[in-house]
Amino acid sequence: MREASRELIIRGAHVLDPLSGLDEVTDVRLAAGRVAEVGAGLRGARRLDADGLHLFPGFVDVHAHWRTPGREDEETIETGSAAAAAGGFTSVVMMPNTDPIVDKPVIVSGLVRRIENESRVRAHVSVALHEGLRGERLTEMRLLKEAGAFCVSDDGLGTQSAGVLRNGMLYAKTAGLPVILHCEDHTLATGAVHDGVPAALAGIPGSPASAEDAATATALVLATETGAKVHITHVSTALSAGLVGYFKDRADVTADTTPHHLTLTDELVGTLDGMYRVNPPLRPEKHRRDVGEALRGGILDFVATDHAPHSLSEKDLPLEEAAPGFLGHETAFAAIHTELVLKDKLSLSRLIEAMASAPGRWIGGAGTLGVGAPADLALVDLSEEWTVRPEEMVSRSRNSPYLGQKLRGRLVGTVVGGELVYDRIGERVGERV
Ligand code: DOR
């Protein structure tokens, strides 16, 4: 990823940056890979006329599966980062449930080198908390950190033993690594979908909400006791969101939810289509509403996509047999904008906070357009309506739960370090002599 040395002036966009308090039509000058100046009437040789568009800090996704190493048929660093850029994401955290699993320093350093050469956006490596994600032996977190690890996570699986998880938190804390936790109790999560009315009607075994809630409660209690920096990912139930709220001031804890848990429900189980299998499962409307409310009120800090590419052969199956997971990067902003912002359930400013400022704070030094910040930004046409079409997905996979849906709000350009990494308006960059 190169940082652009050439100057670029983005003129006339509505700039919205909750962190620096910007919410107005103005100009932004990018130079030497950073935001150099914000103000009306900026002049310069290289400019991008952005009248009618919104300019946001680049989005930050702390939860993505780019399937490298091992499943490059589903996604690579190249295609995953291109999909991220197409969704306005300028920083991403890659999850370690690859093949091999990212649990050894040599794998981490290899990934760091490949990111440097192949990624269009900034990418950070999450390593496994336990060797092989088996929830038994802790990984050598200090050595993994030296090799370039950013955080630890057993994502894809919940850690089943509270004792093992407690030790993991203590070690992660001494290694100075945040822990991202997928909270799922596998003694309760025995089904393929949420254990509700649609599952019963379809005759598909379900997992109760308590599978998530029990594991979330355990994680939060242990976070409080150990003092580890813990992030609860993909919160999907009303009670788990409430638990996060209770522990917020008692532990060093943050939490996210996903675009799909904010916009879709388990009604889709009735289609019997393997496309709609995901972990944690889509929940009933009440959970969707309460999780959205928790995001609105800041109990849930931010949105993360859980971008999980899968091949057609793994998804085009009955629900019980399909691989769990959805593509997320390319539709995240538009889906939440369409379902929540345009329906007055969430303000645009809170959405930008949840997609840029708050996760940017979590990874550090990202998510703002303040002068001196990295020139990472997303240019969006809020009025553009578009249909999600499989042949237009940038990801190497096609498993978006929004296929065929009309969404409003579309990325026009994404800039990382001052360089356009996604560009649907190349013609707008006017070179003035
Ligand atoms: O649905 C999911 N898919 N949830 C996860 O936690 C893992 C992910 C994957 O890796 O496919």
| pLDDT tens digit sequence for 11-23 | 999 999 999 999 9
Q: Is pLDDT of 374 > 50?
A: yes
In which band, very low, low, confident or very high, does the pLDDT at 425 lie, cut at 50, 70 and 90?
confident
The pLDDT score that the predictor gives to residue 290 is 98
If you ran DSSP here, which 8-state letter would residue 318 be given?
Answer: B
**In sequence order, what are the residues at sequence separation of 6 or more whose Cβ sits closer than 8 angstroms to the Cβ of residue 395?**
75, 79, 80, 82, 83, 307, 309, 327, 329, 330
Reference 52, options 101, 10, 2; nearest CA is 10
Q: Residue 81, Cα to own-chain centre: how many angstroms?
A: 12
The pLDDT score that the predictor gives to residue 416 is 98
Measured by CA distance, the residue closest to atom 5 of ligand 1 is 156
- Same domain flag for 24 and 146: no
Whether residue 122 has its Cβ less than 6 Å from ligand 1: no
Lookup: tokens for 14: 């509505």
The pLDDT score that the predictor gives to residue 429 is 57
The pLDDT score that the predictor gives to residue 426 is 63
In angstroms and rounded to an integer, the radius of gyration of the C-alpha atoms of the chain is 21
The pLDDT score that the predictor gives to residue 141 is 97
Lookup: tokens for 19: 């962190």
CATH for 201 = 3.20.20.140
Whether residue 157 has its Cβ less than 6 Å from ligand 1: no
Residue 370 alpha carbon to ligand 1 centre in Å? 35
- Same domain flag for 82 and 12: no
Active site residues per annotation: 306
In which band, very low, low, confident or very high, does the pLDDT at 248 lie, cut at 50, 70 and 90?
very high
> What's the one-letter identity of residue 218?
T
Measured by CA distance, the residue closest to atom 7 of ligand 1 is 156
Residue 191 alpha carbon to ligand 1 centre in Å? 15
Contact 199, 205 (CB under 8 A): yes
Whether 327 is covered by a domain: the verdict is: yes
Whether 349 is covered by a domain: the verdict is: yes
Domain boundary among 313, 333, 363: 363
- Same domain flag for 234 and 100: yes
Q: Which residue has the tokens 């906070």?
A: 353
Task: Spell 152-162 as b/e; 16+ CB within 10 A means b.
Answer: bbbbbbbbbee
Whether residue 16 has its Cβ less than 6 Å from ligand 1: no
Domain boundary among 335, 363, 391: 363
The pLDDT score that the predictor gives to residue 159 is 79
- Same domain flag for 341 and 384: no
Strand order in the sheet with 302-303: 59-64, 89-94, 122-127, 149-153, 179-181, 230-232, 253-257, 302-303
The pLDDT score that the predictor gives to residue 423 is 93
- Same domain flag for 83 and 94: yes
Averaged pLDDT for residues 136-153:
97
In which band, very low, low, confident or very high, does the pLDDT at 5 lie, cut at 50, 70 and 90?
low
- Same domain flag for 321 and 400: no
Q: What is the average pLDDT value for the chain, to the nearest integer?
A: 96
Distance CA 212, CA 301 (A): 18
Lookup: tokens for 13: 């966009």
The pLDDT score that the predictor gives to residue 432 is 44
Where would I find the H helices in 51-127? 77-86, 105-118
Whether 150 is covered by a domain: the verdict is: yes
In which band, very low, low, confident or very high, does the pLDDT at 433 lie, cut at 50, 70 and 90?
very low
Residue 307 alpha carbon to ligand 1 centre in Å? 8
Averaged pLDDT for residues 325-343:
98
**Bridge pairing between strands 122-127 and 89-94:** parallel
The pLDDT score that the predictor gives to residue 45 is 82
Measured by CA distance, the residue closest to atom 4 of ligand 1 is 279
The pLDDT score that the predictor gives to residue 89 is 98
Whether 264 is covered by a domain: the verdict is: yes
Q: Is pLDDT of 32 > 80?
A: yes
Domain boundary among 363, 396, 420: 363
Whether 1 is covered by a domain: the verdict is: no
- Same domain flag for 340 and 283: yes
Reference 26, options 45, 9, 4; nearest CA is 9
Whether 426 is covered by a domain: the verdict is: yes
- Same domain flag for 278 and 149: yes
Task: Spell 259-279 as b/e; 16+ CB within 10 A means b.
Answer: bbbbbbbbebbeeebbbbbbb
Averaged pLDDT for residues 148-174:
93
- Same domain flag for 160 and 307: yes
Whether residue 305 has its Cβ less than 6 Å from ligand 1: no
CATH for 12 = 2.30.40.10
Whether 106 is covered by a domain: the verdict is: yes
- Same domain flag for 45 and 70: no
Structural domain boundaries enclosing 86: 58-363
Whether 151 is covered by a domain: the verdict is: yes
Bridge partner residues of 430 (DSSP): 47
**Bridge pairing between strands 34-39 and 22-31:** antiparallel
Q: Is pLDDT of 378 > 50?
A: yes
DSSP 3-state of 87: coil
- Same domain flag for 379 and 293: no
Averaged pLDDT for residues 81-90:
98
Quick one: what percent of the chain has pLDDT higher than 70?
97
Contact 274, 326 (CB under 8 A): no
Structural domain count, the chain: 2
Atom of ligand 1 nearest to the CA of 182: 6
The pLDDT score that the predictor gives to residue 107 is 98
Averaged pLDDT for residues 282-290:
98
DSSP 3-state of 181: strand
The pLDDT score that the predictor gives to residue 332 is 99
Whether residue 155 has its Cβ less than 6 Å from ligand 1: yes
The pLDDT score that the predictor gives to residue 278 is 98
Atom of ligand 1 nearest to the CA of 157: 6
- Same domain flag for 41 and 69: no
Contact 262, 287 (CB under 8 A): no
